Amino acid sequence: MNRQMRATLRPMQTITLVRAGTPRSICLLALAVTLCAAGFTQAQEEPQAQEKRPTLAEAKAAFAKADRALNQAWSLAKTAIAEGRAPAELTQNQRDWLQFRDSRAGGESEQAGEKDPKRSGTWYSVATELTASRAEWLRGRARTVAPEETLTGVWIDSYGGTLSVVQQQGRLLFTCEVVRGPTYHTGEISGIASWNQSIGWFSDKGRDPEKTEESNLAFVDRDGCLEVIGANTSHYHGARAHFDGIYCKVAPLEAKQQAEVIKAAESGGVSEQEAGGG
């Protein structure tokens, strides 16, 4: 039943509670109060029913702001890479990402029935969100990792993948959630990986008696970032999804969030942090 219909029915339901023989003035008062209440309730529900979409000008302005932040982050990353890391690899990675962003935004615009993507609020809104994520990734790529710093934190790959890690002695407790492809195929996995200096290894062998084929994830330290490589992980994600990617740390994990990741990793579930509840 839609909201408009519910608002229409509320006065009728309340009126039936007025007994026969009640003075007309009281009946009218009851009706007036009920209609006001229904109108107030409908007014409260209306913003939820109709989410305001930005105008084309607003969407363009938001994208321009995100693009400036991206350029600043790119400069930081290039400077850091020039000090000995692989600049050519990062440059190619950035080109690939730009193609990914434009393709994803164009696909969203097309699904919305908009003929000209560059005159589409949808294109700019989607591109803005992806650009902000990429800028965050580049800042994570550029940052200097302190010698005493652990891997505990939130990591992203700027392609729709989020990895939460709690590092303990000789192991990584993790949860990973991804959204991939134009049709938004999803995936989620959690567990405990063994960790030896710069390489981690996860196996789900024996965790689920009904799952006969083993799934694996490798975690490789790539100069402050984590490369995740999956093997036979289709049990945990949709057809076009995957966990593979280069993840950069972008945020710490507070004590409560760490507890949620640990709980999910030990149980094989998904933490509230990954599910959006953290």
In total, the chain counts a number of residues equal to 278
Q: Mark whether 17 and 85 lie in a shared domain.
A: no
CB 129 within 8 A of CB 149: no
Q: Mark whether 35 and 127 lie in a shared domain.
A: no
**Does 227 reside within a domain?**
yes
**Does 148 reside within a domain?**
no
Q: Which residue has the tokens 């998904």?
A: 270
The two three-digit tokens of residue 109, written as one number: 């615009």
pLDDT value for 51: 67
In three-state secondary structure terms, 222 is: strand
Rounded Cα distance, 137 and 122, in Å: 23
- The sign of the CA dihedral 149, 154, 157, 163 is positive
Q: Mark whether 30 and 98 lie in a shared domain.
A: no
Q: Which residue has the tokens 């949620």?
A: 260
Q: Mark whether 133 and 164 lie in a shared domain.
A: no
Through-space distance between the first and last CA atoms of the chain, rounded to whole angstroms: 32
Q: Which of 108, 142, 176 is the last residue before a domain boundary?
A: 142
The two three-digit tokens of residue 223, written as one number: 């100069």
Q: Mark whether 10 and 60 lie in a shared domain.
A: no
71 is in which domain, residue-wise? 56-142
Cα 56 to the chain's mean position, in Å? 24
Number of alpha carbons in the 13 Å side-chain half-sphere of residue 124: 20
pLDDT value for 42: 47
Q: Which residue has the tokens 């560059």?
A: 118
Q: Mark whether 177 and 265 lie in a shared domain.
A: yes
The two three-digit tokens of residue 76, written as one number: 């930081």
Query: By CB neighbour count within 10 A (0-12 exposed, 13-18 middle, 19+ buried), where does 21 fall?
Result: exposed
**Does 269 reside within a domain?**
yes
**Does 117 reside within a domain?**
yes
CATH number assigned to the domain comprising residue 60:
1.20.1270.180
pLDDT value for 270: 58
**Does 8 reside within a domain?**
yes
Cα 225 to the chain's mean position, in Å? 19
Q: Mark whether 133 and 157 lie in a shared domain.
A: no
Q: Which amino acid is at 217?
A: L
pLDDT value for 82: 74
**Does 266 reside within a domain?**
yes
Q: Mark whether 182 and 244 lie in a shared domain.
A: yes
**Does 213 reside within a domain?**
yes
Angle, helix 3-15 to helix 24-49, in steps of 10 degrees: 160
Q: Mark whether 78 and 111 lie in a shared domain.
A: yes
Q: Which of 105, 121, 142 is the last residue before a domain boundary?
A: 142
Q: Which of 142, 166, 191 is the last residue before a domain boundary?
A: 142
Q: Mark whether 107 and 218 lie in a shared domain.
A: no
pLDDT value for 120: 83
Q: Mark whether 42 and 113 lie in a shared domain.
A: no
**Does 147 reside within a domain?**
no
The angle at the Cα of 158, spanning 135 to 225, to the nearest 5 degrees, equals 90
Q: Mark whether 190 and 84 lie in a shared domain.
A: no
Q: pLDDT tens, position by position, for the chain (278 residues)?
A: 433 333 333 333 333 333 444 444 444 444 344 444 444 444 444 444 456 888 999 999 999 999 999 999 999 999 888 765 568 889 999 999 999 999 999 999 998 888 888 888 999 999 999 999 999 999 999 998 888 899 999 999 999 999 999 999 999 999 999 999 878 899 999 999 999 999 999 999 999 989 999 999 999 999 899 999 999 999 999 999 999 999 999 999 999 999 999 999 999 865 554 444 44
pLDDT value for 144: 86
The domain tally of the chain equals: 3
Closest to 199 in 3D by CA, of 169, 222, 165? 222
